[in-house]
Structure 1
C-alpha cells in the first residue's frame, strides 16, 4: 500500500512556517539614552541600536530580523551605536580605553573588530587619550586630594591605565621634592590636632603611608616629629 501524497499547498505552508520559525525576532526593547536602545531577540542575540529611519522598525517587539539585517546590526550598525554611546560618556568626563571597552561590553558590544574600529576612530579624532587623562588625573589629585605616588598609581591602575604609561606620568609629576613637600604639608596639618609627640608621630606615620607616600619620606618626617623638629 503506497503512502498518500502530501498536497503541494500543505508543503508550501510547512516551508513558509519553517522560514518564519528560523527568522530572528525582537522580543525585548529597552531604551538606554536618547536615541540609543538595546534590543534582545528570540535567538538570544543582543544589539545596541541607534534609532533612525533605517532602524526604527527594530524597536518594536515582534519585528523580524533577516540574516542581512542581523549582519548590519552586528556590524556597521553596532559601530554607529557604539560611537554615539562613547560620545555621550566622554562628554561627561574623560575615560581610559579600558573604561570605554568595559562600557561597550556592558551594552553587548564585545566583538574585537567592532571595538577596535570605535577606539581607533575616537583616538584619531582626539576624544580618547590615556596620557592626557593620566596627566589631568594626577594634576587634580595634587591640587585637591594630595596623595603620594603609590596611592595615585593604584588609582590609575584601577582606571585601566597601561603600566608603562603610569610609570612615565609618575616620574614626570612626582619628583622627590614634590612628594616630600606634599607629605610635609599633610603632616603639619595633622600635627595641629595632636599635642602628644609620640602619638602624633605614630598617627602621622600611618596616615601618610595610607595616603601613598614613600616609606623613607614618611619615616623621615616621623623621626623629625619625635625629635621636636616639626612642632
Structure 2
C-alpha cells in the first residue's frame, strides 16, 4: 500500500528549535532583547556608517525589536558618539566628491536617500563645496568624459555630454556656461 504525502501516519512531529526558544525568551526578558538589538546595531554600524533614521529602520525590522527598545539603543549609541547625522552627512558627501565629480543636486538627493534631514544635508553640502568648488568638479567631469569619448563634434554629442552632466547633479546654468566655453574654444582653435 502506497503512502500519501498528506497521510498523518507518515508525518513526523516537528521538534521545537532553539530559534523558537529565543523568540519566546526575548518576549519575556526585555533586557536580553535590548542587548540583542544593541549588538545588531553595532554590527550594522561596523559594516558601514549609517544615519540615525536609516539605522532605526534596519533595527525595527529585526526580531524582538520594539520602538521603545530601538529608541533606547539609538540614544545610547548617540551618547557614545557612534551616531551623529551631521558628521555622517559631511563624511559621506566629502567621500562621494573625492570618488568622482558629482554636483550639489545629486549629492543632496543621495543624502535624502540616506534619510538625512534637509538642514543637516545643506550644512554638509556647504562645507564640502566650500572645500571643493562645483566649478572645479564640473571641469574634472568634462575632462574625464572628453578623455573617454573625445570632444563633442556634433550637436547630438554635445547634448549627450549635457545630459551626462545633468545626471551627475550639476546645475543647468553651470553646464550651459561650461559647454559654451568649450564650443567657443573650438571656434578659436579653428581660426
Query: Normalized against structure 1, the TM-score is what?
Result: 0.66
Instruction: Give the SS at the match of 1:107.
Output: coil
Deviation at 1:206, TM superposition (A): 1.0
Match of 1:84 among 39, 43, 51: 39
Deviation at 1:175, TM superposition (A): 4.0
Q: Does 1:204 align with 2:182?
A: no
Deviation at 1:137, TM superposition (A): 0.8
Matches within 5 A, 1:93-172: 93-109=48-64, 111-172=66-127
Counterparts of 2:131 and 2:52 in 1: how far apart (Å)?
A: 30
Q: Give the helix-richer structure, 1 or 2.
A: 2
Counterparts of 1:176 and 1:227 in 2: how far apart (Å)?
A: 29
Deviation at 1:159, TM superposition (A): 1.0
Question: Cα distance 1:70–1:181, how it changes in 2: closer, same or farther (>3 A)?
Answer: closer
Q: Residue in 2 aligned with 1:194?
A: 150
Question: Cα distance 1:200–1:227, how it changes in 2: closer, same or farther (>3 A)?
Answer: farther
Q: Across the two proteins, how many residue pairs are aligned to each other?
A: 172
Counterparts of 1:121 and 1:144 in 2: how far apart (Å)?
A: 32
Deviation at 1:59, TM superposition (A): 4.1
The structure 1 segments of at least 4 consecutive aligned residues displaced by more than 6 Å after TM superposition are: none
Matches within 5 A, 1:24-103: 29-30=18-19, 39=20, 58-59=21-22, 70-72=27-29, 75-103=30-58
Q: Residue in 1 aligned with 2:172?
A: 215
Counterparts of 2:43 and 2:141 in 1: how far apart (Å)?
A: 38
Instruction: Give the SS at the match of 1:146.
Output: coil
Q: Give the strand-richer structure, 1 or 2.
A: 1
- Relative contact order higher in (CA < 8 Å, ≥ 6 apart): 2
Gaps of 5+ in 1: 1-25, 31-38, 40-57
Deviation at 1:116, TM superposition (A): 1.2
Deviation at 1:126, TM superposition (A): 1.1
Gaps of 5+ in 2: 1-14
Deviation at 1:29, TM superposition (A): 4.9
Q: Which has the larger radius of gyration?
A: 1
Q: Does 1:224 align with 2:187?
A: no
Deviation at 1:191, TM superposition (A): 2.5
Instruction: Give the SS at the match of 2:185.
Output: coil
Give the RMSD, CA atoms, in angstroms. Answer: 2.7
